[in-house]
Structure 1
Amino acid sequence: MIETTPSATSMFHRAFSQKLETDDRSPIVTFELPISGDSYGILLPNVGFWIQLIATVVVGGVFLSIISLAMHTFVVERRNTATAYLVGWGAVVPACILGPISILEFLDIRNLMLRFIIGCILPPITVYKCISTMYGTNPKEVEKSKKIFALFISSSQEIVFDPRTDEAAKATFSEVFSHLVKFLQYMMLNGIYFSWISAYEFHPFGVVAARDGYISSPSNIICLRQLANNFSIALLYQLLLTFFGEGLVAISSILTGLRFRKMMENPVFTSASPSDFWGQKWNLVIHENLKRGVYKPVRKRFSRNVAMVSSFVASGIFHEWILLGK
């Protein structure tokens, strides 16, 4: 009898055999709050989900490594030539959009969170990086070597460079440990906060009067109850993005030994102005990619106002893509 070694493809199919379309976990402990009498339970993490999440990161990394090789060979080394633009717009950009969709179908990934990561987040960020590469608006440090360029393309997080040497900064043990601790802290905090807010169907301060599913008057939009609900949702998104951001920074530093920039800087509680909120603290990954992939290329040929409007439209398309994916 001849034993055969499972191929990488079959291993990935096996990893995604559990579809995780519903959460069928049972609480290991249940308890009631003494005042309200509400019943709560504690669930253990789903090991299958975390295995699939790691496999998703690996698949995405391999795909983006291939993209980075094509971009460096045909775009970086041939910048400002017809070949660079033809390959960039004609091959790489379509591949950035269609590739992740093909991965979802090939591996039959059905979990909404995993589909969101691969199908909604990966394509636009890679497209922005492809455009910034074509038009020469990447940080000069990322194109000094194929290795750093591959890390720049394949990582969703921003690499930190030493301003004195222009080399990628090394991550210290204390920095990596700090990100891991914050990751675990935010995992527990998200579990508590999500359980609380979802129990009220994401309207913890009550439902505002609506007609046919829509808020019926402007006064209901700016009332304290609706503003409080909006704040609670903004806080939920901040907690979720910070949780995933800390995890991505930690795993990226462990795998590469390099330092990466945080995704969030506590924007809900520390922002001094709307521009500080959106430009300096909220989802810095999207902000930087929009700036390099849309604003700067447009600004090279048009006015500042045109570049700003283009960035705003691109941001709108990005979020519509997310809604379409959901």
Structure 2
Amino acid sequence: MFSSVNPFSVIFADKLESDDREPVFTFDVSGSSYGILVPNMFFWIQLLTIMALQGLVLAAFSTLTYRLIVKQRGMSTCYLFGFGFVIPMCLLLPRHLIAAFDIRNKVLKFMMSGILPTTTMFHCSEAMYGFCPPFVEASPASYAIYSASAMELKYDPKTGKPMKATTKEKLQRIGKFGIYVVVLGGYLSVVAPFNYMPFEGPGADVSGFMKLFSAGQLLNNLAAGVVFQLYLTTCCEGLLAATCALGGVQANEVMHNPIFTSNSPSDFWGRKWNSVVHGVLKVTFFIQPKIDLLEKTSNQLVA
């Protein structure tokens, strides 16, 4: 008798709740000891498994969305399927998968529930109300590529097809992702031992609201913000590398080092931070609805 083993229970056996890696070698600098850690392969295996599962789910969703929403836009079944199935599944499915696989690592939880489900809900809204770029609805395959990608693809304005990635561009994407992995690991090595608060906080003589504006508190906030930016940038660079290397198509940058290159809050949120969500929000909730409202108002005035 052969015992059946659930492969997912093996893949997600390591819960990755704490970093128990041992340095491969250590060195001393100015009296302080530092060590070099190798990547945890279980983390990357679990991350790739999550991405593969999400890809399969999104492929199924995009097929159903094209047939039941895009091709039936304006009918009651279109909105019933979108609001009654796709959007609720985007909210509920990640939670059930996290519980089923007993995923406890915060980064993996974020990857499971934070990026692709969000973009899928926005793409569903685009499909229901006709905000998709015209060329992505030319065929089920075109829509599947557009809908199943978490990244914002580059399209050829003449052909309306995704722009192909060259071998050089694929290698550049993979190399950039590798650089961010190293940078993130190095930065965490510096701030993690201090519980992500490497600077001395406000003294006992500072109380109340002024604690928020002490130099140490502001610098610790900056240090924590850089951690989040590096995590998000590294995750997005990994998705960009996968889109480019595996999908063979080009995609737009997502993060543009917003903390250190933004000139204003509008520049930060509008141009530098998470351009994927910004672009979808702009098309779905701002530009197209505004155009529709203006057209409706104009028609009413003419009538």
Name the TM-score, length of structure 2 as normaliser.
Answer: 0.87
1:151 is aligned to 145
User: Is 1:167 aligned with 2:158?
Assistant: no
Aligned residue number for residue 17 of structure 2: 21
Summarize deviations over 1:191-239 as a string: whole Å, max 9, x none: 111111222222222213589xxx9544333343333333323322222
| 1:258 alignment partner, one of 236, 249, 263 | 249
CA distance in 2: counterparts of 1:20 and 1:204, whole angstroms: 24
- Please state if 1:100 is matched with 2:91: no
Gaps of 5+ in 2: 295-303
The equivalent position to 2:39 in structure 1, one of 45, 69, 91, is 45
Aligned to 2:187: 193
- Residues 1:288 and 2:279 aligned together: yes
Distance 1:218 1:19, change over 3 A: closer
- Between 12-21 and 160-169, the greater mean CA deviation after superposition: 12-21
Q: CA deviation at 1:179?
A: 1.3
- Offset of residue 269 of structure 1: 2.6
* Worse-matched range after superposition: 22-31 or 288-297: 288-297
**8 Å contact kept, 1:80–1:134:** yes
After superposing the two structures, state which structure 1 stretch, 16-25 or 163-172, moved more.
Answer: 16-25
Contact 2:201 2:214 (8 Å CA) reproduced? no
Which whole-Å CA distance do the structure 1 matches of 2:272 and 2:103 have between them? 32
Contact 2:126 2:284 (C-alpha < 8 Å) held by counterparts: yes
- Kept in 1, the 8 Å contact 2:173–2:244? The answer is no
**Aligned CA distance change for structure 1 residues 17 and 228 (closer, same or farther; 3 Å):** closer
CA distance in 2, matches of 1:168, 1:221: 47
1:316 match: none
Identify if the C-alpha distance between structure 1 residues 269 and 20 changes in structure 2 by more than 3 Å, giving closer, same or farther: closer
Q: Deviations over 1:99-140 (max 9, x none)?
A: 222222222323222122113333333222211221122222
Distance of 1:59 and 1:209 partners within structure 2: 49
Tell me the SS of whatever aligns to 2:71. helix
1:117 corresponding residue in structure 2: 111
Deviation at residue 297 of structure 1 after TM alignment: 6.1
2:227 aligned with 1:227? no
1:57 alignment partner, one of 44, 51, 57: 51
Q: Secondary structure at the match of 1:258?
A: coil
For structure 1, list consecutive stretches of 5 or more residues without a partner in the other structure: 304-326
1:169–1:258 contact (8 Å) kept in structure 2: yes
- Partner of 2:202 in structure 1? 208
The 3-state SS of whatever aligns with 2:200 is: coil
Cα shift at 1:154: 1.9
Cα deviation for residue 190 of structure 1 reads 0.9
Preserved CA contact (<8 Å) 2:24 2:36 = yes
Deviation at 1:271, TM superposition (A): 2.2
Equivalent-residue separation in structure 1 for 2:39 and 2:266 (angstroms): 37
* Secondary structure at 1:78 match in 2: coil
Q: 2:131 corresponds to which residue?
A: 137
Q: Deviations over 1:152-195 (max 9, x none)?
A: 22221111111232211011111111111111111111111111
The percentage of aligned residue pairs carrying the same residue is 38
Please state whether the residue corresponding to 1:168 is helix, strand or coil: coil
Partner of 1:11: 7
Q: Structure 2 vs 1, CA of residues 167 and 15 (structure 1 numbering), >3 Å: closer, same or farther?
A: same
Distance, in Å, in 2 between the alignment partners of 1:229 and 1:32 is 25
SS, match of residue 23 in structure 2 = coil
Q: Does 1:238 align with 2:234?
A: no
**Residues 292 and 103 of structure 1: is their aligned pair in 2 closer, same or farther, counting only changes over 3 Å?**
farther
d(CA) in 2 for partners of 1:18, 1:204:
29
Alignment check: 8 A CA contact 2:55 2:148 kept: yes
**How far is the alpha carbon of 1:249 from its aligned partner?**
0.8
> How many equivalent pairs are there?
294
How many angstroms apart in 2 are the aligned matches of 1:264 and 1:270?
Answer: 11
2:29 to 33, 36, 44: 33
Task: Name the amino acid aligned to 2:135.
Answer: E
Task: Name whichever of 240-249 and 222-231 sits farther off.
Answer: 222-231
- Aligned Cα root-mean-square deviation (Å): 2.5
- 2:300 — aligned with what? none
Counterparts of 1:191 and 1:210, CA distance in 2: 33
- Once residues 75 and 55 of structure 1 are traced to their aligned partners in structure 2, the CA distance between those partners, rounded to angstroms, is 29
